[in-house]
């Protein structure tokens, strides 16, 4: 079969399965199989496709038809200046989380950085790449996720990132007694809203990284008192938040921490996605 015919068949299969943007998805999959970018794919439209490549593409289209995320099939996701390996062990890094990194980079701090619930290591690695002189620690309760984070850090050439297994700050032990920047992309989807998520998210990404409890705020309730124990005077905490959660999250932190300053960031749709709070000196 030629490239053009195989691509048409893939588009039809994905469209029949209800996959959004079926044509672009098929282009990504076939391009990855053949090692061609989108432009070269169409230049090669009349070329014959080897049988092994046809079978790989058909297998990938079958997976995508079951609404498995494209990133899991391809095995990677760009994040700022890095390309991270991703699979079902971790949440797929998203553009709004890149905005959280922007906020972290804009803050003045000195001392270790702690990324809680690091997952693929996206935040910790991005900070390690763009602030190579800072010590960065990532924690996660998922050992399989940490294995992937370590692999991503090695691939990105990050030298001063350490990933440790455990809940919140507990596994840091003697590594970090006081930190100047805490960052976290917690689970913040209300349990009742999980079924309304796209199948790619609802059925494939780790539920533990999504479910924030009845109102989406359970993780912040746990995090606030824990952060109070390790944040030094003048330290920042930066968290990703869901739509409309900013005031409630800030109030939760203010119960246990006195803050001198707060900042927020918005995504490209104008929705608040990140909250930063600086502890009083």
- Assigned domain for 71 exists: no
- Assigned domain for 228 exists: yes
Sign of CA dihedral 153, 158, 159, 163: negative
Helix or strand or coil: residue 61? helix
Task: Looking at the structure, tell me whether residues 162 and 264 fall in a common domain.
Answer: yes
Task: Looking at the structure, tell me whether residues 219 and 153 fall in a common domain.
Answer: yes
Task: Looking at the structure, tell me whether residues 210 and 185 fall in a common domain.
Answer: yes
Q: What angle (nearest 5°) sits at the alpha carbon of residue 161, between those of residues 159 and 162?
A: 125
Q: What angle (nearest 5°) sits at the alpha carbon of residue 161, between those of residues 160 and 162?
A: 120
Task: Looking at the structure, tell me whether residues 28 and 140 fall in a common domain.
Answer: no
The pLDDT score that the predictor gives to residue 76 is: 97
Residue percentage of the chain with pLDDT more than 90 = 88
Task: Looking at the structure, tell me whether residues 164 and 210 fall in a common domain.
Answer: yes
Task: Looking at the structure, tell me whether residues 47 and 89 fall in a common domain.
Answer: no
Task: Looking at the structure, tell me whether residues 80 and 34 fall in a common domain.
Answer: no
Decide: 26 and 65 in contact? Cβ < 8 Å. no
**Hey, how many other C-beta atoms are within 10 angstroms of the C-beta on 58?**
16
**Hey, how many other C-beta atoms are within 10 angstroms of the C-beta on 129?**
19
Task: Looking at the structure, tell me whether residues 8 and 107 fall in a common domain.
Answer: no
Identify the domain containing residue 15 by its residue range: 3-66
The pLDDT score that the predictor gives to residue 175 is: 62
Q: What is the pLDDT along the chain (281 residues), one digit of tens a residue?
A: 999 999 999 999 999 999 999 999 999 999 999 999 989 999 999 999 999 999 999 999 999 999 999 999 999 999 999 999 999 999 999 999 999 999 999 997 777 899 999 999 999 999 999 999 999 999 999 999 999 999 999 999 999 999 999 999 999 886 667 888 999 999 999 999 999 999 999 999 999 999 999 999 999 999 999 998 889 889 999 999 999 999 999 999 999 888 999 999 998 889 999 999 999 98
- Assigned domain for 142 exists: yes
Task: Looking at the structure, tell me whether residues 101 and 190 fall in a common domain.
Answer: yes
**How many structural domains does the chain have?**
2
Q: What angle (nearest 5°) sits at the alpha carbon of residue 241, between those of residues 178 and 189?
A: 120
Decide: 246 and 275 in contact? Cβ < 8 Å. yes
Q: Which helix (H) or strand (E) holds 116?
A: strand 113-116
- Assigned domain for 188 exists: yes
The CATH number assigned to the domain holding 131 equals 3.40.50.150
Task: Looking at the structure, tell me whether residues 167 and 110 fall in a common domain.
Answer: yes
Task: Looking at the structure, tell me whether residues 102 and 166 fall in a common domain.
Answer: yes
The pLDDT score that the predictor gives to residue 232 is: 87
């Amino acid at each position: 079969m030629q490239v053009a015919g195989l691509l048409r068949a893939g588009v039809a299969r994905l469209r029949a399965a209800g996959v959004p943007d079926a044509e672009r998805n098929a282009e990504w999959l076939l391009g990855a199989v053949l090692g061609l970018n989108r432009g070269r794919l169409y230049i090669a439209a009349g070329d014959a496709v080897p049988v092994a490549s046809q079978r790989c593409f058909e297998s990938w289209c079958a997976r995508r038809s079951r609404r498995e995320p494209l990133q899991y099939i391809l095995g990677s996701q760009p994040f700022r200046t890095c390309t991270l390996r991703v699979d079902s062990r971790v949440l797929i890094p998203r553009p709004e989380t890149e905005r959280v990194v922007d906020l972290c980079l804009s803050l003045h701090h000195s001392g270790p950085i702690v990324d809680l619930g690091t997952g693929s290591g996206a935040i910790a690695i991005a900070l390690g790449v763009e602030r190579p002189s800072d010590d960065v620690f990532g924690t996660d309760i998922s050992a399989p996720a940490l294995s992937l984070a370590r692999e991503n850090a090695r691939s990105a050439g990050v030298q001063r990132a350490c990933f440790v297994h455990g809940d919140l700050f507990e596994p840091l032990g003697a590594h970090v007694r006081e930190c100047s920047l805490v960052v976290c992309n917690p689970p913040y989807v209300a349990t009742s809203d999980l079924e309304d998520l796209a199948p790619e998210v609802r059925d494939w990404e780790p539920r533990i990284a999504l479910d924030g409890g009845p109102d989406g705020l359970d993780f912040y309730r746990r995090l606030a008192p824990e952060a109070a124990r390790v944040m030094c005077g003048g330290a920042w905490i930066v968290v990703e938040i869901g739509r409309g959660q900013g005031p409630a999250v800030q109030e939760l932190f203010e119960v246990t921490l006195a803050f001198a300053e707060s900042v927020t960031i918005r995504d490209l749709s104008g929705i608040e996605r990140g909250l930063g709070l600086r502890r009083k000196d």
